Amino acid sequence: MVRYQNKNIERVEEAFRLFTDERVDFLREQAFCVLRVKTDKWNRFIGADENQKIILDFLDHIWTNRLLLFTGPGGTLHAGDTSPPWKTKLLCVLKKGVKRISRQEFRHQLHLGEVPGYPMEHLPLVISEVLVCVLSNGLNHEDWPRVVSGDIHRHLEKLRSKVVTLRGRAEGRTLLPLPLHVERARPQDIQLRWDVLCVVVHDILNGIMRRHFIQWSCQIWNVLKKDSGLMLQGGDHPGPNVELQFWATQRENLLGIQAQIHSPKVEHIMEILRRVKSSYYSAFKDICVKVNEAVLEAEDIDLYLRPLRRVITSLEERSIPHVDSLLPPLFHTLCLIWSRSQYYCIPQRMVVLLREFNNLIIEKIKRKVILLRIIIQMIVLMSTFKQLFRTYQQQIPKYYKNSQSVKLWDFPASLVFQRSDRIMERLLMIEVHELTHNHMLEKIELGGSRGKILSESVFGMSEEFHDRWRALRESKYDPLDYTNDVRFSGIVEVSCHCYLILIPTGLLLSHLLPRIHQLFSPNYNMVLDMFNQEIDRCQFILNQHRDQVRNVSIQTLFFFFFFFFYNF
């Protein structure tokens, strides 16, 4: 009891010493300023024993030299020496060349830092504004050899280029890194002066500008060669929203690239390259022309694909019986896009869009329960879609004016309906069986001297059937997945076993299971004949065994009597 009281007294004294410690008050002020923590959150944090231990270990002991404060879900404050798994702002407190933090000079013994929750957004700024300024300033490395200074400058260029490129990928756009001296200069400072000309020529000779032009070319070509049909080629089944989103994103990305290559800084560099007759001028000029053409293409396609958004929304919201009325307006819109758009009247692109609409209808079908009525609606819907394609394929010339050259849908229909045709085959194979009469097995009661035995047999048959039926019903097999033939054969085997369970008695087949009796009756007599033959074989074997036992017994008895009389 005394030991328990002493322990409580020590805890109270330690908590009082912590609350009156100016070092802890300093950390609290920094948490309020950086993490925007309120007073109640701090009091709850500092009241926990584990948090008190973490802070005192950092301040008074030598085995830790950093402290991280961060907020968690709900705004609660946490402390530790490693970053959390979630994205949040960090307050970093580091020791400045000391092992223990004193109570008087603690403000001069701590390094304070702030790390944002998404450091990729701030890393380019830190590199450009801090590392580059420090390492590129000649006053900071006057005593360094020229080779070392040049090597550091080249590494800075590479580091900054990679960071800018990664930042663009994280934001979903393409960023073109500029040379350091061009990035740090103001647009009005980059004029056609002799000093700037010398710097650019020096960069060209040192390969800095060459590396930037090669990197720009690779980045731009990667954007220009993007294809909206790559997902289909990879085996995926995207819907039409993917096509619309692709061209909207492509348009924004190309507009960003166009704005960067036509910025004042790049324009001045291009003019300098033209004056010095650099070989990079003509190559980059061709890239600029291709970017301008790609911008026109993306804007044209995005403009003409926008009306499809309303049609797609209606297709996704309506049920299967009401989708038929939306298909003629859909094909009418596709024909208008084909005849009006300057860049989308290419067979490959129209095939991609038609396949994606076909995927939308298929996915809508696969979400429904497999019933006989639904299967008929599925077949009708897919047949209507294919028939409308052939109808509007013949009507394409009507959408062109007299002075326009007609471009037909001359691509084969198999490119569009390859997947739907395979699924149509599966739909025609599916037979829907209703489980109605089979539940009557649970209600059978048999009387008589053997009624209990027969009732138990019927109950066992019913349980076994329901177990098999439950395994069949709860199976994750997709009947419309034409690529999974192994699972299909397994399901057929389980379903056959379900029916074989219900064969033993002709009474059950004739009265309770008429549909199964109708399917099984042609083979029932044959099974009985085979069963009788097997019984006859068993009887024959049994008789043989009895005869052998009888003969052995007679011989043994004769031998016994002979031995007895002989000895007597």
446: in domain: yes
pLDDT in tens, the chain (568 residues): 445 445 555 555 665 566 677 888 888 888 888 888 888 888 888 888 888 888 888 888 777 888 888 888 888 888 888 888 778 888 888 888 777 787 777 888 888 888 887 776 777 777 777 777 777 777 777 788 888 877 887 888 788 888 888 888 878 888 888 877 676 666 555 554 545 555 555 555 446 677 788 888 889 999 999 998 888 888 888 999 999 999 999 999 999 999 999 888 888 778 777 877 778 888 888 999 999 999 999 999 999 999 999 999 999 888 888 888 899 999 999 999 999 999 999 999 999 999 999 999 888 877 765 555 677 777 888 889 999 999 999 999 999 887 788 899 999 988 998 888 888 877 776 654 444 445 555 555 666 666 666 677 767 777 777 776 676 666 665 666 666 654 444 444 444 444 444 444 444 444 445 655 666 667 767 777 777 787 788 778 777 767 776 665 555 544 444 444 445 4
89: in domain: yes
pLDDT score of 435: 47
Same domain, 8 and 90: yes
| Among 192, 481, 216, residue whose Cα is nearest residue 365 | 481
What's the CA gap between 442 and 455, in Å, rounded?
10
Same domain, 247 and 359: no
450: in domain: yes
388 in Cβ contact with 412 (< 8 Å): no
| Among 259, 258, 283, residue whose Cα is nearest residue 270 | 283
Domain boundary among 399, 429, 459: 429
Same domain, 192 and 291: yes
209: in domain: yes
Tokens of 87: 């994205």
537: in domain: no
Amino acid, res. 322: H
What's the CA gap between 106 and 100, in Å, rounded?
9
Same domain, 410 and 452: no
Same domain, 276 and 325: no
pLDDT score of 248: 94
pLDDT score of 196: 53
562: in domain: no
| Among 154, 143, 144, 88, residue whose Cα is nearest residue 116 | 88
What's the CA gap between 69 and 29, in Å, rounded?
12
What's the CA gap between 271 and 283, in Å, rounded?
14
pLDDT score of 487: 46
Same domain, 338 and 365: yes
Same domain, 192 and 252: yes
Q: What are phi and psi of 114, to 5 degrees?
A: -125, 125
Same domain, 284 and 201: yes
Count of domains forming the chain: 4
In the block, tokens 């979903």 appear at 172
The 3-class SS string of 414-435 reads HHHHHHHHHHHHHHHHCCCCCC
98 in Cβ contact with 126 (< 8 Å): no
310: in domain: no
150: in domain: no
Amino acid, res. 369: V
Domain boundary among 85, 117, 149: 117
For 201, 307, 456, 520, the CA distances from 275, given in Å and listed in that order, are 11, 48, 102, 93
Same domain, 475 and 413: no
How many C-beta atoms surround the C-beta of residue 391 within 10 A? 11
Any residues with CB less than 8 A from the CB of 247 and at least 6 apart, and which?
228, 298, 301, 302, 305
Distance in angstroms between the alpha carbons of the first and the last residue of the chain: 101
Same domain, 234 and 183: yes
Any residues with CB less than 8 A from the CB of 115 and at least 6 apart, and which?
83, 89, 90, 92
Same domain, 239 and 275: yes
Domain boundary among 402, 429, 456: 429
Any residues with CB less than 8 A from the CB of 152 and at least 6 apart, and which?
135, 141
DSSP letter at 301 equals H
Same domain, 289 and 363: no
For 197, 220, 320, 351, the CA distances from 210, given in Å and listed in that order, are 16, 15, 59, 41
Q: At what angle do helices 146-171 and 119-126 cross, to 10 degrees?
A: 150
What's the CA gap between 110 and 117, in Å, rounded?
22
Q: Range of 220's domain?
A: 173-305
SS3 67: strand
